[in-house]
Amino acid sequence: MARLLLFAILLALVLAIVYVLLTIVTRTLDAGQNMLRPQHGQTKEGLMVPTPFQKITYAALIVLLFGVATGWLGGL
């Protein structure tokens, strides 16, 4: 009878440990997903809207790359 009681206690202990570990894992995964969500209610479409500053910097980057590649900038 004592073996049956010890087996039941051991089973309950294992189930409690598994429950605690699953809770820790799910909370960790939820926290990671919350960190990856955009802030201030922005959607995925709203994050990549080109601003005038972005357009100017892309144009300047293209001019810089063209100048370096042709030798116009860089002194080659």
Each domain of the chain, given as residue ranges in start order, spans 1-37, 49-76
In the block, residue with structure tokens 């293209």: 62
Dihedral sign computed on CA atoms, order 49, 54, 59, 61: negative
Which pLDDT value is given to residue 41?
61
- pLDDT higher than threshold 80 for residue 12: yes
Largest CA distance in the chain: 92
User: Is pTM, for the whole model, over 0.85?
Assistant: no
Would you say 38 and 44 are in contact if contact means Cβ atoms under 8 Å apart?
yes
Q: Are 47 and 38 in contact (CB under 8 A)?
A: yes
Residue 18 reports pLDDT greater than 90? yes
Which of the four pLDDT bands, split at 50, 70 and 90, describes residue 68? Answer: confident
Question: Cβ–Cβ contacts within 10 Å for residue 73, how many?
Answer: 13
